[in-house]
């Protein structure tokens, strides 16, 4: 049925398949930036907290899947991020889809940075709002595309804290401009910036010391926090509206109790050992001369062959191809690891 389409993908070098990599490889491909996915202390604390209870949530949040573990994590996220309300969701993809599908209506305007990731692009297609894209991190183009904004009921602007396929931080000037525009709701996806930047490692709002009012923050539990799932932070009105209208929240099983509590203890780990993580992150940023923990190098059509050669040397790195990016790129995450001296190995990798 799809033989022709699959054949075309193979000819274009865009064919993909799942692969189980050797666990002995030195992993610089994952988004486990702080190495918390393998933290034995967090694992033990999480297990002991829910021991004897259900590990899964068993139902959607609006049936009986919501419990004290979800509430504990939501309240802690609100406290450390200075937001009045929050909600846990199944994944970052669901979070983006839920926000744009539910909040933006006919007569509204959505502007996305052209490098905003796929979940947001899918989400805006589900809305009936007018959608525009502005040049990456370009304030002038954003202002130009907001020229007729008075003709729209509501305006949403979507940016990422750190752009996942370039490692760029969102422009501070863009966020400062948006923060004083009362008619604009700014949506900031901090999936790759939480645990990486900021005085408290809580992302770009923390880094730039910007107010959280009239912003919606999306964060993931599955990257720096080493768990699975995501969260949305915003005003009480916004979160209540999402509870009532967002299909990705209403019709999906709630996040598992174990994933929820694991993320809670991961946040506690970051807070209690903040200086250690800040120091280790600084070393990696200095080594690679980057602002995030994502290092990018352009490649060509032979990228998979080159990745294989690096793999034979004992390293796993990301080989990203179109249409995810315009050109093939190697994506290296300068992550921490409990199981190896990742800074030393990162230096070795750069010599390959």
pLDDT tens readout for residues 216-264: 999 999 999 999 999 999 999 999 999 999 999 999 999 999 999 999 9
Confidence at 14, pLDDT banded by 50, 70, 90: confident
Res 99: pLDDT: 96
Domain 42-270 fold is: 3.40.640
Coil, strand or helix: which one is 77?
Answer: helix
Q: Rounded to an integer, what distance in angstroms lies between the CA atom of residue 337 and that of residue 329?
A: 23
CB-based contacts of 1, cutoff 8 Å, min separation 6 = none
Confidence at 82, pLDDT banded by 50, 70, 90: very high
Res 308: pLDDT: 92
Half-sphere exposure of 234 (CA within 13 A, CB side): 24
Q: Rounded to an integer, what distance in angstroms lies between the CA atom of residue 215 and that of residue 234?
A: 6
Res 297: pLDDT: 92
Res 79: pLDDT: 97
Q: Taking residues 75-85, what's their average pLDDT?
A: 98
User: β-strand 130-134 against 155-160: which pairing, if any?
Assistant: unpaired
User: β-strand 184-189 against 215-220: which pairing, if any?
Assistant: parallel
Res 251: pLDDT: 94
Rounded mean pLDDT of the chain?
94
Res 11: pLDDT: 85
Q: Is the pLDDT of residue 6 over 90?
A: no
Confidence at 96, pLDDT banded by 50, 70, 90: very high
Coil, strand or helix: which one is 294?
Answer: strand
**Who wins on pLDDT, 85 or 342?**
85
C-alpha angle with apex 211: 295 to 187, nearest 5 degrees?
60
pTM: 0.95
Domain chopping of the chain, boundaries: 15-33+293-351, 42-270
pLDDT tens digits, 252-299:
999 999 999 999 999 999 999 999 999 999 999 999 999 999 999 998
Q: Taking residues 123-150, what's their average pLDDT?
A: 95
Coil, strand or helix: which one is 188?
Answer: strand
Containing 234, the helix (H) or strand (E) segment is strand 230-234
Of 315, 323, 301, 303, nearest to 11 (Cα)?
301
Res 289: pLDDT: 94
pLDDT tens digits, 32-68:
999 999 999 999 999 999 998 888 899 999 999 999 9
């Amino acid at each position: 049925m799809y033989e022709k389409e699959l054949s075309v993908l193979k000819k274009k070098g865009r064919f993909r398949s799942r692969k189980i990599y050797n666990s002995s490889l030195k992993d610089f491909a994952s988004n486990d930036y702080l190495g918390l996915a393998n933290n034995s202390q967090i694992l033990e604390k999480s297990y002991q907290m829910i021991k004897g209870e259900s590990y899964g949530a068993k139902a959607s949040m609006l049936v009986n899947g919501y419990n004290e573990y979800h509430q504990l994590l939501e309240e802690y996220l609100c406290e450390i991020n200075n937001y009045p309300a929050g909600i846990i969701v199944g994944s970052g993809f669901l979070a983006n889809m839920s926000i744009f599908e539910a909040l933006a209506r006919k007569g509204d305007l959505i502007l996305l940075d052209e490098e905003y990731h796929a979940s947001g692009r899918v989400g805006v297609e589900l809305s009936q709002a007018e959608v525009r894209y502005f040049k990456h991190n370009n304030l002038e183009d954003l202002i130009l595309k907001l020229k007729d904004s008075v003709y729209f009921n509501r305006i949403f602007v979507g940016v990422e804290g750190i752009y996942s396929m370039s490692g760029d931080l969102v422009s501070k000037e863009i966020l400062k401009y948006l923060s004083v525009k009362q008619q604009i709701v700014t949506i900031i996806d901090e999936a790759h910036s939480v645990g990486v930047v900021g005085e408290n490692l809580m992302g770009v709002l923390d880094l730039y010391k910007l107010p959280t009012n009239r912003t919606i923050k999306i964060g993931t539990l599955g990257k720096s926090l080493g768990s699975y799932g995501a969260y949305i932070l915003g005003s009480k009105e916004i979160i209540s509206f999402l509870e009532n209208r967002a299909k990705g929240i209403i019709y999906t099983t709630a996040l598992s109790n174990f994933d929820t509590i694991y993320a809670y203890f991961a946040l506690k780990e970051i807070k209690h050992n903040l200086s250690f993580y800040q120091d280790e992150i600084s070393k990696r940023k200095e080594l690679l001369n980057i602002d995030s923990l994502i290092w990018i190098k352009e490649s060509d059509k032979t990228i998979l062959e080159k990745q294989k050669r690096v793999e034979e040397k004992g390293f796993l790195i990301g080989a990203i191809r179109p249409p995810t990016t315009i050109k093939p790129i190697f994506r290296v995450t300068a992550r921490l690891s409990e199981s190896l001296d990742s800074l030393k190995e990162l230096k070795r990798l750069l010599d390959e």
